[in-house]
Amino acid sequence: MAGKKSDKTAKAAKTAAKPATAKRTVPKKTASASKAETSGKTSRAKAAGKTLIIVESPTKARTLSRVLGAGYLVKASVGHVKDLPPSRLGIDVDHDFALEFEVHPDKKKVLSEIRSEAKSAREVYLASDPDREGEAIAYHIAMELEALPRPPKRVLFHELTEGGIRTALSEPGEIDVRKVEAQKARRALDRIVGYTISPLLWDRVRRGLSAGRVQSVAVRLVCDREEAIARFVREEYWTIDARFRPEDVRVPPTFLSRLDRVSGEKPSFPDGDSAGQAVERIRQERFTVGEITRSDKKRNPSPPLTTSRLQQEAANRLRFSAKKTMTLAQRLYEGVDLPGHGPVGLITYMRTDSVRVSPEAAEAARRWIRENHPDALPSRVPAYKNRKGIQDAHEAIRPADVARTPESLRASIDPDLFRLYDLIWKSFMESQMAPALYLQTTVLVEGDRGDVFRASGRVLKSPGFLALRGLSSDMAAPGEEGSAGEGEDRLLPPLETGEVVTLEEVTPDQHFTEPPPRYSEASLIRELEEKGIGRPSTYATILSTIQDREYVEKKETRFYPTDLGKAVNSLLVESFPDLMSVRFTARMEEELDQVEEGERGYRDVVGDFYTPFHHEVEKAKKGGMANLKKLEIPTEVPCPVCQSPMNRKWGKNGPYLSCSRYPECRTTRNFTEEDGQIRIVEEALPEGEVCQACQAPMVVKKGRFGTFLACSRYPECKTTRPWPPKPEAALTPVDPALAPVCPECSSAMVQKRGKFGSFWACSRYPDCKGTRPMATGLPCPVKDCKGELVPRRGKRGTFYGCSRYPECTYLLNGEPVKDPCPDCRFPYRVRVGKKSVELVCPNEACSHATTGG
């Protein structure tokens, strides 16, 4: 691209700066039309006489194409093709809550291709996922294909194996309109809540916040748990353990027991003194073996995995987030590339709350158990009962083919996919195996002064499903049967009633009651499921959303509410008690299920919700919801500058302390609150960091986007810069004496980094908003011009021009690189193309590749 002389107009310079290759390029409109025409002909040629199958994901499409072969054409919609408009409510609340669905701009091309291919296809099958969202996708695509002479058919792929695919295609059905209505109802409720409450939060708290019908209740659970922890009062208590030895030498030679009764009553030791007195009494006693109870106990395997339990087990065992678990499970369902096989679906559909297993899958599992663990084969197929009110449309999550053991796939799939598949495969196989059988023994050891100790132990008689983990009756798992562990999992020596035992030691142990634990991903999912909030398919989204919105944060493995989360939750609970009620939210989920079952209509459910909700919204708008932006709460914390009391305020970055003498004193401080005590967070002084504008020390402050450095003379000096500095964002130190002066007020300028890179800004900002681009250090090549190249921002992105513009109009549409041309020794070359690393010479007179012509 050629630079032009300074005496020519800017328009001429821009015209000359067009790439030389443009002359050889086919006009865009003609090329696009030609391409579209060719694409349309090719698509229709491919689809002619074939069966068209429309799925959601490209991965699923590849798997189906491999299995079905040349007679089928599989097209992916890549999710929803229609949705409510992003810029308005999209619900006509005055006319039966009609939804205004429109084609997503990114999906117009996809829909056009689907219509084109459907016209010449022999049959059209809609095979989106077998759930409410999938049914809605199928419905919207069907509406776009209304002009077809034969309406599309609906097929449900519960597993992407050859048998499962062929069976589904042989049994096509119709779109389940009731499922579509249930999805519409959920979408309408969520949109009404989000688009109505969010503006209130913008006005009362800060812009950019949002509320969700289900997510807000999940935040409330986290906040309520935090409040319960804060209210908790720890209490002390003591227990007493004793170790006894039979008179004969036996294995094990001693056994541990715990004090269970004192004169027939449960022992209670609130402090060390009372426990110590009991210990002294016990040491004087003689002990004999009292009642011995032996019984067989079964340990049943867990039911097959549902979506909720899969997320919980993956969180507990594999430390996977719910989002990661569902992403990996989706890949396992849609198909994983296996050497020699191509994409193969390894598990059944992963969104289900049913523990039902098909007879064919149960029989396949029994064949494998019979061949590999015959002793663990139950006499009949285990039966598991679904919870009340669950949707039983899909089987439990299981391997699509039990013959594909995890070990056979270890070398063929990614480590995380392997770990999740291993969990699913073993969980399913264990659920089809016999229970483990233990011999449990309980022994009472009685003292002659009324103290009774209890000892328990158990021995594995038959491993049952535990055999899959490599356990046998003579091998104990860590922390389970065997070894002298705590609680129930220990061996006892053979004892007889009336036998004298010797007290080896007695130990008092101090304990404290524990507050309720903070939620982990697994426990929060379990809580949501037990309380009927959301559905298994939404749990991962709920947990991701409340973190993305900064309402909760995860520290290690536990959820903590943020200050923002606490504030928003408090406002919503006060202004919308029904919406934030756990019971109300659960009832709404039940009503959505009733829509799917045909017991209630879409308009009835949405209308019953909207009327009282709208009343609460109007009340909140008229002053029923507190305005945190205007709220000032007096505190007893003295201002570190003038010693006046400070007020607690709320800003866009959260709560902070501000001097009550504002605006005479503008001192502000961040703070922490522990046990009701407010403590100022002292501002750190990084060594050697000084303000570029006034040379005063810089202090570390915390803002919406993290920590940063600010001048300690604020508000007289408002200079800031990132902290800690990122390597790629580090600014080259500049001597203040060499810094340019502001073109607006002639004050010194300082370096800053913005969205489009480094630049010079006036040190008097925001009183003066003068800026200058940061020079590249490369001279303008125009003869007799004293300027240098600087980056500028235009409609089409960043370009480089002379710093003396408009006197000099030289410009480049590429990034100049200090790399001399090998032919003409021009001092720099230009990087061209978005993905290319090609460097070309900008000198028109050079025979080397140039940027202009």
Question: Cis omega before residue 686 (within 30°)?
Answer: no
Backbone angles phi, psi at 198, to 5 degrees: -55, -45
The contacts of residue 62 (CB under 8 Å, 6+ apart) are 74, 335, 342, 343
Instruction: Decide: residue 698, CB within 10 A, 0-12 exposed, 13-18 middle, 19+ buried.
Output: buried
The catalytic residue among 125, 349, 551, 828 is: 349
**Within 10 Å of residue 462's Cβ, how many Cβ atoms?**
18
Strands (E), 534-676: 552-555, 558-561, 633-638, 645-651, 654-659, 668-669, 671-674
Between the CA of residue 635 and those of 327, 638, 644, 653, 668, what are the distances in Å?
A: 48, 8, 10, 20, 13
Q: Are strands 123-126 and 153-154 parallel, antiparallel or unpaired?
A: parallel
Nearest one of 269, 805, 806, 691 to 512, comparing CA atoms: 269
Q: 270, 278 in Cβ contact below 8 A?
A: no
The contacts of residue 582 (CB under 8 Å, 6+ apart) are 217, 220, 221, 531, 533
CA distance 773 to 178: 60
Residue bearing tokens 């519409």: 184
Nearest one of 834, 836, 853, 835 to 844, comparing CA atoms: 853
Query: Among this protein's residues, is 765 annotated catalytic?
Result: no
CA distance 452 to 218: 46
The contacts of residue 225 (CB under 8 Å, 6+ apart) are 516, 518, 519
Q: Are strands 811-812 and 815-817 parallel, antiparallel or unpaired?
A: unpaired
CA distance 480 to 488: 8
Instruction: Decide: residue 487, CB within 10 A, 0-12 exposed, 13-18 middle, 19+ buried.
Output: exposed
Between the CA of residue 435 and those of 298, 422, 462, what are the distances in Å?
A: 6, 20, 8
Let me know how long the chain is.
853
Q: 349, 158 in Cβ contact below 8 A?
A: yes
Backbone angles phi, psi at 554, to 5 degrees: -105, 120
**Token digits of residue 669:** 């401080």
Distance of CA 426 to the CA centre of its chain: 26
Which residues are identified as catalytic?
349
